[in-house]
Amino acid sequence: MVSNTIKALAAAALVGVFVTIFVLLQSGTSGGQNNAADTGKTMVGAELDRSQIETIVKEYIQKNPRLIGDALLELQRIEAEEEEKRARVAITSNFEKLAYSDYAYIAGNPKGDVTVVEFFDYNCGFCKRAFADMAKLIENDKNVRVVFKEFPIFGKQSEDAARAALASVEQGKYFEFHRRLLVDPGRANKAKSLSIARDLGLDVEKLQADMNSSFVNKALEEAQKLAFDLRIQGTPHYLIGTDVIQGAPEDLYDQLVGRIAQVRKEGCGLQRC
């Protein structure tokens, strides 16, 4: 629901627009009928001052309050279209790093024909909920690539978990590690990560050393920069070609399957998807 503050701002903006249009129209009319260059006055200047015009406009808006809602809806539509266009440009210019980076883990078929990129945080409740859909997608579609981008936005504990998961790549256990961090109850942090590492039979000492490796640092830095360029502010965030799915809707799996099918049918507008 639109707040009263936004409504007030919209009303003020509408008043300004109407006043400007009113003055310009009247100025144009008076210029056509009588050259006012000598007197420096227009018809509207002679007959109405700004406060009177504002009163007229405010009274008109009060009698037609739907104007505010209509204006806000149109503004939101325009902004959404502009943001979608900007996002597509950003995705296109960064697609190789998004989908084919050396600093990210690829699940599913590494040579698959369509790539799904997921930005996530191990302490994001919606990411945890969405994991079942991602696992189902990987299981059912043998020709999809899924690229995981660690994007720890919930503080130091999330970063420690992301570092541990990325460090597990070196020991060939990333997906199992990733699954446990999302599925196991409790908050993901360093202690939990090391406990999972022991359960999976990893070399814990090596894992801790690799948590600060060049690979891990570059993976996190790259994901952070990509998220900034794409203006990603929350997790999970999915990319299929240049299409975007924000959050974890109840029908996430169906949406992913539908977008993937569309890319396979129509392409994604890039050299490779």
Tens digit of pLDDT for each residue in 64-89?
A: 777 777 777 777 777 666 766 777 78
Residue with the two structure tokens 């997608």: 137
What pLDDT digit, counting tens, does each position of 95-116 carry? 999 999 999 999 999 999 999 9
Q: What was the pLDDT predicted at 116?
A: 97
CA distance 188 to 160: 8
β-strands 114-120, 237-240: how paired? Answer: antiparallel
Model confidence at 117, pLDDT cuts 50, 70, 90, reads: very high
Model confidence at 29, pLDDT cuts 50, 70, 90, reads: very low
Q: What are 59's two structure tokens?
A: 């009274």
Model confidence at 253, pLDDT cuts 50, 70, 90, reads: very high
What average pLDDT score do residues 243-247 get? 92
pLDDT for 225 beyond 70:
yes
| Spans of all domains in the chain | 4-64, 87-266
User: pTM value?
Assistant: 0.72
**Which residue in 246, 265, 262 sits closest to 80, CA to CA?**
246
Q: Which CATH superfamily is 87-266 part of?
A: Glutaredoxin (3.40.30.10)
Q: What are 269's two structure tokens?
A: 């507008």
What average pLDDT score do residues 190-208 get? 97
Q: What is the DSSP letter of 171?
A: G
What pLDDT digit, counting tens, does each position of 171-190 carry? 999 999 999 999 999 999 99
Residue type, 40: G
Q: How many residues does the chain have?
A: 273
